[in-house]
Amino acid sequence: MSRITGSQLTLRPVTETDLPSVARASMPWALQGESEADVLRRLRDRHRGAVPFAAVEFAIEMEGRLIGDIQARRDPYLAGLFEIGIVVFEDADKGCGVGREVLSLMTAQLFEHEGAHRVQLNTDVGNTAMRRAAEAAGFTFEGVLRGFWPPKGDEPPADYAMYAKTKRDHEDMS
Ligand SMILES: CC(C)(COP(=O)(O)OP(=O)(O)OC[C@H]1O[C@@H](n2cnc3c(N)ncnc32)[C@H](O)[C@@H]1OP(=O)(O)O)[C@@H](O)C(=O)NCCC(=O)NCCS
């Protein structure tokens, strides 16, 4: 997969050496009971093709530095439906427009080159940064998925906000 260049970011293929940083930053979304080593093993298995994982994925670089990861998982049953996940690794790189730009670059790639008809993302209702980045990138808030994320410890399942952009939205904005 080739590189995509934006105004402050470059998206490039993920390499195996990127995976420890991705695993560390993904820990808040680890499966129940998974350690960081488990998450890294899972990411390596996917990367090497040992387990099926259908996604368009890029490492995010700013000024030649790896700062995050974005993936768009293909729905296994519904062709053209994708679900996006993003992590920016360090707090110092958050809040500088990375989320907004990377969402715009990825959605353009999915609609124009990957056969997407709908791109969606969901995030904890309290994740203001992700919600505002989605809105800034032209996603529409479609409602709340109640009790969506599995319970963590004593906490109840979390409510998640659903956002989406359709191919028609993308064409109307282009
Ligand atoms: C969520 C995330 C990808 C957003 O990327 P980002 O580069 O920090 O966001 P941006 O700089 O593009 O900001 C987008 C909007 O959010 C706002 N924002 C950013 N950080 C914020 C914060 N901590 N609190 C409130 N608003 C915030 C910005 O002001 C901007 O709003 P505006 O368009 O109204 O000006 C990034 O913060 C991140 O990786 N967080 C940890 C992982 C995560 O939560 N991933 C999403 C899981 S679903």
Separation between Cα atoms, residue 87 and residue 109, nearest integer Å: 18
Query: Is the CB of 123 within 6 Å of ligand 1?
Result: yes
Mention every residue, 6+ apart, whose C-beta is less than 8 A from residue 7: 101
* CA 51 to centroid of ligand 1, rounded, Å: 31
- Residues 104, 138: Cα–Cα separation, whole Å: 8
> pLDDT tens for residues 113-166?
999 999 999 999 999 999 999 999 999 999 999 999 998 888 899 999 999 999
Ligand 1 pocket residue status of 94, Cβ below 6 Å = yes
Q: Is pTM, for the whole model, over 0.85?
A: yes
Domain 4-173 has CATH 3.40.630.30: yes
> How far apart are the CA of 52 and the centre of ligand 1, in A?
30
Ramachandran class of 95: left when φ > 0, alpha when ψ lies in -120 to 50, beta otherwise: left
Residue 100 CB–ligand 1 contact under 6 Å: yes
Q: Which two tokens stand for residue 47?
A: 């990367």
pLDDT band at 1 (very low <50, low <70, confident <90, very high): low
Residue-wise pLDDT tens digits, 71-120: 999 999 999 999 999 999 999 999 999 999 999 999 999 999 999 999 99
Q: Give the start-to-end residue ranges of the domains of the chain.
A: 4-173
